[in-house]
Structure 1
């Protein structure tokens, strides 16, 4: 009898002990929960595009300027990211961009680089074709020890079937910001490179305009998401209202490739803001028929103002055409007060994007109370020749604000 009593006691004690251990373990689990896996809100896919050695990068950039090869320090690994963003009509779409990672075990900062004007998808950063801006400048800055986020913008890469919203402030800013958000999600889930959470933004030409637009959006809407340290904007058309008034009323260079871009801006705004005017409203013959058929792919070898209807110019100058005037004004990005240290680089002999764009932005920002904005004129520089000095100045500026 004693034997069975002892066995029953042992079984009871064992069950109580086991239950206690389970309870203790449950309490321990509750006090130290396993971190939940964060779901991506923006990033859809990431794929390796290529890997470039330090020697390969030196070979590529030496054609730009031989002395820059001395800045090359690291191999790089290049990814294509696809991510969610919204089109100009608010519909969610998939966009893309390149993310360039330096091969290093040291913590590094990120630069969001907004590319200049391109006319074909092969030049998009995520295609990373030879001699493209991303393959040259992106690889160079990546090899210096920066993570480079390079958005394609809407209309290129994964969204190539959509029209590019050329020089449209809001969509350039949102597509670039959402690329940064996707890059942040990608970096969170990898161990190849450590981001120190510092962010810089830079771009030239359309990229300068996109950079200013992105900077403004980050400061006003996403300052808690990113530690934005500095912004370097080169030769952007920030004062769209003054720019349009100038090309409509003043004799200009008559350079066909430049006129194509002015035309592209007009047609983009007509489409996005649903003005839906016939070509005959804006332009004289024979350009009316050509533009109606070919859009911006028209050769214009004369001052741009000479192809415009006098009635259209009059409606703009006297304020009658409120729709077009409001569309232009909605894309101004010069008259605000930046908080981030900002540099405006611009050649003072730029015949494509006139110097007054940066000068007007600088004056407006200073008048608004900005204390950390600099205007860096490039004496005698035109749109192309000013680029190397912009790149060197940007490197020095970002190094100084680390």
Structure 2
């Protein structure tokens, strides 16, 4: 059993990793083509639409996990005091200059682990510049039914991408609009299908709503239990080339805990 201090320490490590991942992500921009509406195949509807910035996400994540400051995270990583100030200034500037985002909770058609048709939910983060750098697909780590993306859209997972990227975060089966169903989080084959179906739904929504085509290249991200899902999703896109998605990078990670 983990103590509260161990959990808080883990969260600080995760936030530190996500912050510095965001400084190294890069992707080319694409121009949109002429607009012709498409018929919806996967997209179902919009649950909500909001506007936020990375600063809003950071403030709320820090509040949720009881993190006092960026400096406290850096100290936890053992960074010398004489370097903490300059690093903090750079991170705060990066956060201040981040793009403003439209956040959409959406529903879409997919299947559960039994292959039965369901309407699942997830969150799309789209830069207001309408000129995204690329696409990041996230398989989120395990959460409670009351803490999925469409319930709490201030997620640590989105920190690396709120700097100009389209961010796609499916709730997964058992969460959000499918909260009445058993959690299918460890059914990785289904996790991949549900994630790929949301990407297709986002493609349809973005094209009709923003008159933009979504980049066919994806960066995949998963932490902890989400790491296995991200790897399965990468393999899924390789096996099903008809999806038309090319995996550009895969970022996965986890926590090594040593119990004394």
Normalised to the residue count of structure 2, the TM-score between the two structures is 0.68
Higher Cα Rg, which structure = 1
Aligned equivalents of 1:138, 1:109: Cα separation in 2: 16
| 1:79 lines up with 2:109 in the alignment | no
**Counterpart of 1:155 in 2: which secondary structure?**
coil
Gaps of 5+ in 2: 1-34, 72-87
- Residue of 155, 160, 165 corresponding to 2:174: 155
Decide whether aligned partners of structure 1 residues 202 and 223 sit closer, same or farther in structure 2, where only a CA change above 3 A counts. farther
- How far residue 59 of structure 1 moved from its aligned partner, in angstroms, is 2.9
Aligned partner of 2:257 in structure 1 is 350
User: Alpha-carbon deviation of 1:233?
Assistant: 1.6
Query: Structure 1 stretches of 5 or more lacking a match?
Result: 1-34, 129-133, 236-346, 353-402
Residues 61 and 69 in structure 1, CA contact (< 8 A), matched pair in contact too: no
Tell me which of the two structures has the higher relative contact order, counting C-alpha pairs closer than 8 angstroms and 6 or more residues apart. Answer: 2
- Aligned residue pair count: 201
Q: Is the 8 A contact 2:203 2:214 kept in 1?
A: no
CA offsets per residue over residues 95-136 of structure 1, 9 Å max, x none?
110111122243321101111011x222111112xxxxx513
Q: Look up the match of 1:261.
A: none
* Kept after mapping to 1: 8 A contact 2:57/2:159: yes
Do the aligned residues in 2 keep the contact of 1:58 with 1:69 (CA within 8 Å)?
no
Name the counterpart of 1:177. 196
Q: String of CA shifts for 1:370-394, please: whole Å, max 9, x gaps.
A: xxxxxxxxxxxxxxxxxxxxxxxxx
Output one character per residue of 1:198-251: Cα deviation in whole Å (capped at 9) or x when no partner: 31110101111110111111111146521321111213xxxxxxxxxxxxxxxx
Q: Select the residue among 183, 186, 207 that pairs with 1:188.
A: 207
- Higher relative helix content: 1
1:229 and 1:51, CA in 2 relative to 1: closer, same or farther beyond 3 A? same
CA shift, 1:58, in A, is 4.7
Change beyond 3 A, Cα 1:116–1:224: closer
Partner of 2:116: 91
Displacement after TM superposition at 1:155 (Å): 0.3
State the match for 1:125 in structure 2: 149
Q: Which of the two has greater strand per residue?
A: 2
